[in-house]
Amino acid sequence: MLGILFIASCTHYYCMNDSDPLAKYRDRRDLSESPEPLGELTDGEGEPIFVVQKHAASTLHYDLRLESGGVLKSWAVPKGPSMDPKVRRLAVPTEDHPMAYAGFEGVIPEGHYGAGTVIVWDRGTFANMKEGKGFAESLEEGHATIRLDGEKLRGGFALIRTGGGGRPRWLFFKMKDGEARPGSDVAEEMPDSVVSGRSLEQVALEEEPADLEGFA
């Protein structure tokens, strides 16, 4: 059964044409009915950006997104990031997202992929820390180190692919440096949006899911 699932997902994901990295993003969504951004490739300017979105979908998780090659490379981090170097978080790769997604805060309507509320939990820029190797290449090799300059997440972080085969898993964790905060739980201590100051619950109350008139 697992083998069959793997082959099925392979036709959709691993074997996808690299010339359109956002095809899967668009395939999964009806963007005429969801308030999420259109899937467009964008040329980055200046330092690459990162965002961590907190997403109350069927299960609460955090989405880590890092700019690379005109898209946001994405991972779902079930327990959220930590500033404690002893805490290694599971990060499950998800489809590339368009750059415009970094600003998305709102409600994905019922019945749509990822239905639920999204807030921008943290955002900023990042720098590749690998000497003599680009970020994209580091990701392909499954071992990236970056310096995050966000409002909550700061300093060195590592993203390491573990295992392999059809279901890659990564670990995302704080490196030991002057920004590390051993024993802290940043997701618990700073739960709200860095762009609006709102909680998930406030956004869910205030934002209209799928304001269809906005698309008329």
Q: Kindly list the residues in this chain that would bind Mn ion in the complex (CB under 5 A).
A: 55, 63
Helices (H), 10-123: 23-27
Q: Which residues pair with 162 in a beta bridge?
A: 169
d(CA 80, CA 11): 30
Q: Considering the complex, state which of residue 91 and residue 138 has its C-beta at the smaller distance from Mn ion.
A: 91
Tell me which residue of 215, 25, 200 sits closest to 105, measured CA to CA.
200
Least distance from Mn ion to the Cβ atom of residue 60, Å: 10
Q: Parallel, antiparallel, or unpaired for β 116-128 and 60-68?
A: unpaired
Least distance from Mn ion to the Cβ atom of residue 114, Å: 5
Least distance from Mn ion to the Cβ atom of residue 54, Å: 9
Least distance from Mn ion to the Cβ atom of residue 55, Å: 4
Q: Which residue number is nearest to Mn ion in terms of Cβ? A: 55
Q: Considering the complex, state which of residue 28 and residue 143 has its C-beta at the smaller distance from Mn ion.
A: 28
Listing DSSP states for 5-23 in one string gives HHHHHIIIIITS-TT-TTH
Q: Considering the complex, state which of residue 63 and residue 95 has its C-beta at the smaller distance from Mn ion.
A: 63
Q: Parallel, antiparallel, or unpaired for β 106-108 and 116-128?
A: antiparallel
Q: Considering the complex, state which of residue 36 and residue 67 has its C-beta at the smaller distance from Mn ion.
A: 36
